[in-house]
Amino acid sequence: MTVKHATFTLERVYPVPPDRVFAAWADPAAKAGWITVPGGGHSLDFRVGGRETISGPAGGKRMVFDARYEDIAENERIVYAGTLSADDVLATVSVTTVLFEAEGDGTRLTLIEQGTFLDGHEEPSWREQGTGNWLDDLGKFFLQYEHMLTAELIVDHHVPSEPALSPDGLRIAYQVETVTKGVPEIWLADSGGEPRKLAEGTSPKWLSDSLYFLRDGQVHTVDGPLFAWESEITGFVPMRDRIVFIAEDETPVADIWVWSESLRPARLRSFDPKTGEITTLIEDHVVEVAGRQDGKALAVLTWPTPELDPGGLEPRLSLLDLETGERRDLGKTSFEVTSPVWWRDGDSWHIAYLATLGRVGGRGGLRCSRGNGGASEPDTGIGLSAQARAGRVRPSADARRRRARHRPSSARVR
């Protein structure tokens, strides 16, 4: 009859915070993912006084580890006492302490075990090696499941959208949203450092070296709001001599909302930063606007009514010359039109937008218009395109409040 006493200490560093490592010990399903062996069993009642049993074959014998939890400090410490039996013969009695400490963005785990080894059924070196293998399997568990979709990842995930490239091409401002926070943020990434949060807000847009965005329904820079408007601004375009924006009239919202009566048109307006004057450019219900790069014209998408039906079913595209005030109607567009953009080809300016080419059938595409100077020729249908595929095109958060969401499209110009 022999008795050996031994103590060993093991340390591991894992690339997840202490609460995640602690949960891998406390949650029965998680712990079974790294501590069980083929052909083995596992049960866990994780509480002070609760028991855990781990069983499985080893060396031709049936090994059973039975433990009782003596002390638990959440995310900090676990202490348990256990016995190991081989074919119902007691082999070891042990006390184990597991410590969890934050180390950078990860966790340093320290395990100290004091054991009594009986009659040569197990050696201290075997126990230390087996326990170390368990801790290594825990590390593999984190690597295996780190990128799997979980409820935590869904809730904590940061979703970037609406990237805006600065005119010098060296910086990108973008919007970031999370499920938990609920308030979008504006982040900035440049060639000289890590991305950083600038402010809460949506719809970042550049003009020269200045960044503009929406916050609380108003146009802001990092220094604060540019002007006050007593209703929510749902879209804007910063230009050299003005800020063009989309908003309802400055009238109180009705206390009782009647859908068919309370919808109000969001009109196109202009703010002059030199005089502080605000003027209305277009009285129709405007859903999106795009400024031409030379600052002389706007492409404007409108609905005949703020209501989705029939407004969203009958969108129109028009061109507004900012030098003369002339507005030219380019006619009805395809269904669910969104995202107008300008580009120049020689002496001609072009407008493209995304749209669904038919109300039924899930088709989508890119349509182009061509024009010179401040006016434009009617929609020529240049570059009609292809069958829609899976996915969704997301307009801005503010634009989504005013119109139907655009249906998916993988477009190519032919």
- Least confident segment among 29-38, 145-154, 370-379: 370-379
Give the mean model confidence (pLDDT) for residues 137-155.
70
pLDDT tier, 259 (very low <50, low <70, confident <90, very high otherwise) = low
Higher pLDDT, 354 or 282: 282
Q: What whole-number distance in Å separates Cα of residue 326 and Cα of residue 370?
A: 17
Residue 119: what are its φ and ψ, rounded to 5°?
55, 25
Distance, C-alpha 314 to centroid of its chain: 32
Q: pTM score > 0.85 for this model?
A: no
Higher pLDDT, 329 or 255: 329
pLDDT for 315-353, tens place per residue? 999 999 999 999 999 999 887 788 999 988 888 999 998
- Least confident segment among 75-79, 175-179, 205-209: 175-179
Three-state secondary structure call for residue 261: helix
Instruction: Quote the pLDDT of residue 401.
Output: 40
Residue 310: cis peptide before it, omega within 30 degrees of 0: yes
Domain spans of the chain? Answer: 3-148
Would you state the CATH architecture of domain 3-148? Answer: 2-Layer Sandwich (3.30)
Percent helix / strand / coil, the chain, rounded to 5? 15, 45, 40
H-run or E-run covering 130:
helix 124-145
- Least confident segment among 6-10, 51-55, 56-60, 317-321: 56-60
Q: What's the chain's average pLDDT? A: 83
Contacts for 258-266: CB closer than 8 Å, 24+ residues apart: 260/307, 263/305, 263/306, 263/307, 264/306, 265/305, 265/306, 266/234, 266/306, 266/402
180 has a pLDDT exceeding 90:
no
User: CA–CA distance from 181 to each of 210, 241, 256, 323 (Å)?
Assistant: 27, 36, 29, 43
